[in-house]
């Protein structure tokens, strides 16, 4: 198997590449953004499978997938992501992706999914796809929205509390509530979800 993994996080990209090599993939090339991935396909393609990270530079949502498919219509392309919601995964499949791979899948499942897609079959993680999507910003109260805005700006709970004239314990409570509402695991994941949905 000849694969290309495009992800802007070095550690994640290298870990997935190492995992796939261990799983029996002979050739695994890597790229750090969409532009590099397009260049790699031009220079070394076609690949049995190209994995594009949903949230890396150049992707602009699923526009990167569209661009790759327009330039290389016969290239099998899948989306891999740790932040995309089920709606984005469904849209990726509708737009011609051969699969969608959540980074949270167990290692063995990722290897299985990649092997399946490289052989020409579509991989759709049904348990993930049938999940409810995160609510829109309307699901958050005005205060929760402001706390999330502070998180996205990189401020600590103490700094957010000072700005909003609240107790730090109150801000912590808002963080706990808003992360639950938008389906985030923690404040970092909450900021990723907000960025993905262009809420700020």
- Measured distance CA(19)–CA(177) in Å, rounded: 36
pTM higher than the cut 0.85 = no
CB contact set of 17 (below 8 Å; sequence gap of 6+): 5, 28, 30
Q: How far is CA 157 from CA 143, 149, 174, in A?
A: 13, 12, 10
- Measured distance CA(80)–CA(28) in Å, rounded: 15
Residues of the chain scoring pLDDT < 50: none
CB count in 10 Å sphere of residue 93: 17
Q: Would you call 108 exposed, middle or buried from its count of C-beta atoms within 10 A (0-12, 13-18, 19+)?
A: exposed
Q: Residue 2 pairs with which residues in a beta bridge?
A: 27
pLDDT tens, position by position, 40-85: 999 998 999 999 999 888 988 789 999 999 999 999 999 998 766 7
């Amino acid at each position: 198997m000849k694969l290309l993994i495009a992800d802007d996080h070095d550690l994640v990209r290298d870990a997935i590449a190492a995992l796939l090599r261990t799983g029996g993939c002979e050739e695994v090339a890597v790229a750090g953004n969409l532009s590099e991935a397009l260049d790699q396909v031009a220079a070394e393609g076609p690949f049995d499978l190209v994995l594009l990270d949903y949230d890396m530079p150049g992707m602009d949502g699923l526009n990167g997938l569209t661009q790759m498919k327009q330039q290389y219509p016969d290239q099998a392309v899948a989306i891999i992501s740790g932040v995309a919601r089920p709606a984005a995964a469904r849209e990726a499949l509708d737009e011609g992706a051969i699969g969608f791979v959540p980074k949270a899948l167990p290692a063995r499942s990722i290897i299985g999914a990649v092997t399946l897609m490289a052989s020409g079959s579509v991989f759709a993680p049904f348990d993930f796809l049938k999940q409810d999507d995160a609510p829109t910003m309307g699901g958050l109260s005005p205060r929760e929205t402001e706390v999330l805005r502070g998180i996205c700006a990189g401020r600590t709970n103490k700094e957010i509390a000072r700005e909003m004239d609240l107790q730090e314990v109150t801000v912590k409570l808002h963080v706990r509530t808003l992360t639950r509402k938008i389906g985030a695991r923690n404040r970092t994941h909450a900021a990723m979800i907000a960025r993905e949905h262009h809420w700020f």
